[in-house]
Amino acid sequence: MSKRISDLVIISDVDGTLIHHGESIPQRNFDALERFTKGGGRFGIATGRSLPYTSRLVARVPVNLPCVLLNGGAIYDFSADRFLVEQFLPKAAEDYLRQIHETFPEIGLMIVNPDDYYDVNKEKNASQMSRAGVIRKFTSSVIDEVGAPWYKIIFLVSAEQGNALREYIARQAFRGVRFVYTSGVMYEMIPESSTKANALMKLMELEGISRENIIAIGDYYNDIDMIRMAGLGVTVPEAPEEVLAAADLVVGPCADGCLADLVEHLEQMYDY
């Protein structure tokens, strides 16, 4: 039997893919995803955002599948309102953070726990968040006051700071964690096994989805693993070279509605 749209699953990154600048979703994306899901296709997102910042988005788009949050640290079923998977940083991450903060006091940082994003170096964070186009206001705090458990730690860096921080971390023996760029100014410490690909494989197991039917689209380094493992890996032309090299298909720019381009590509290949 030939494959149909109803056999397919699209998993999309959010910032720089589904969304362009802040919370702006091109209308073409809305229209195409409505066609896709009404035709039986399944759509979910794989994002670095936490639950509160993802919930508002899911209320706006036709998500009909559990979603990957926190760069693979969690899978959340919005229809059942519960976590299917949830991972946290090891206790040692607090020591790693203090060590990094003492070595690089000029670097902005935020801690993310189930309640919120905590801005623990506010003066250093402001300029980097502005450069990243982040307009949300986060809770101000200090490290000692951010309650455990922690999902992840975000370092807000310039290109020069990011290079220095990566070189420093490479010389350390930090266990149980990994570091990944999630935007040009955001470098994150997350649980060692947290990747979008690992979470996607778990989602496939939970939902009975075959790998060949997964279409994954993303735009940055934290998306590479899921782009590579999907049946069809997709990116946008503004993605870094390494991401472009990992993808099977490059669609139009995010600002023009890259999800719509992807859906239209699938509609040319498969019937509803």
CATH class of 5-87+194-269: alpha beta
pLDDT computed for residue 29 by the predictor:
96
- pLDDT (0 to 100) of residue 225: 97
Where are the CATH 3.30.1240.10 domain residues in the chain? 92-191
pTM surpassing 0.75?
A: yes
10-residue stretch averages of pLDDT, the chain, 272 residues long: 90 94 85 97 96 91 97 97 97 96 91 91 54 57 89 93 95 96 91 96 96 97 97 97 98 96 97 94
- Helix 92-103 and helix 159-170, axial crossing angle in degrees, nearest 10: 130
* Half-sphere CA count of 246, side-chain side, radius 13 A: 24
Query: Where, residue-wise, is CATH 3.40.50.1000 in the chain?
Result: 5-87+194-269
Residue pair 71/152 in contact by the 8 Å Cβ criterion: yes
Q: What is the pLDDT of residue 27?
A: 94
What per-residue confidence (pLDDT) applies to 120? 85
Q: How much is the pLDDT for 128?
A: 52
Is the CATH code 3.30.1240.10 the one for domain 92-191? yes
Contacts of 45 (CB under 8 A, 6+ apart): 11, 12, 13, 14, 18, 54, 57, 58, 61, 63, 67, 68
- DSSP-based three-state secondary structure for 186: strand
